[in-house]
Amino acid sequence: MKGTFLIAFFETLKQKVGQEKFQEILNHAGYKEEPIIFAISDVDDEIFFKILHSTSKVLDIPLHQITEAFSDYWIHEYTQKVYKKVYQLYDSLKDFLLDLNWVHEMTTKNLLHPTPPKFEYQWENDHTLLITYKSKRNLIDMVMSHIKAAAKHYNEKINLQKIQDNVIRVEFLK
């Protein structure tokens, strides 16, 4: 997993729950202190998953609430500082989503062993896109949270639904 993703996740937690609660989450996950992570580091996925699940346990909230809070931070704050020019390439959520493979390729090209997710697309009708998510990480719910946050960024209304374990339906509303 890309280090920048974990850095943003840690920032989200610190911002939302404070340093003391963040430390409690780290302790619950088995870390005495915050792991040192660099943005371009290739970080073991297990670090993220341990801390994600510890966050749910310590805060006693469901995972989807955590992913939605993180996605809002990721799309509206963190990536606006780091990848703002990427968002400026697109006029709409639809254009952004359809180019996610390229976006991930460009933002991970300097990593030694990048393993970004891949997406396949199929139009169900003129306003409904089916996105097949392909990744061993099984973070489709996080992808859905990111899509919701990106829809806000592009000021668009959508209906979003997971129709299979790895398929999302995005209906673009007028």
> Measured on CA atoms in the order 146, 149, 155, 160, is the torsion positive or negative?
positive
Confidence of residue 111 (pLDDT cuts 50, 70, 90): low
Global pTM? Answer: 0.90
Burial 17-33 (b: 16+ CB within 10 A, else e): beeeebbbbbebbeeee
- Give the strand order in the sheet containing 118-125: 118-125, 128-134, 167-172, 158-164
User: For 147-164, what is each residue's pLDDT tens digit?
Assistant: 999 999 999 999 999 999
pLDDT at residue 110, rounded to an integer: 67
Percentage of the chain beyond pLDDT 70 is: 98
Amino acid at 46: E
User: For 22-51, what is each residue's pLDDT tens digit?
Assistant: 999 999 999 999 999 988 888 889 999 999
List of domains in the chain: 3-61 (no CATH), 91-172 (3.90.1520.10)
Contact assessment for residue 95 and residue 170, using Cβ atoms and an 8 Å cutoff: no
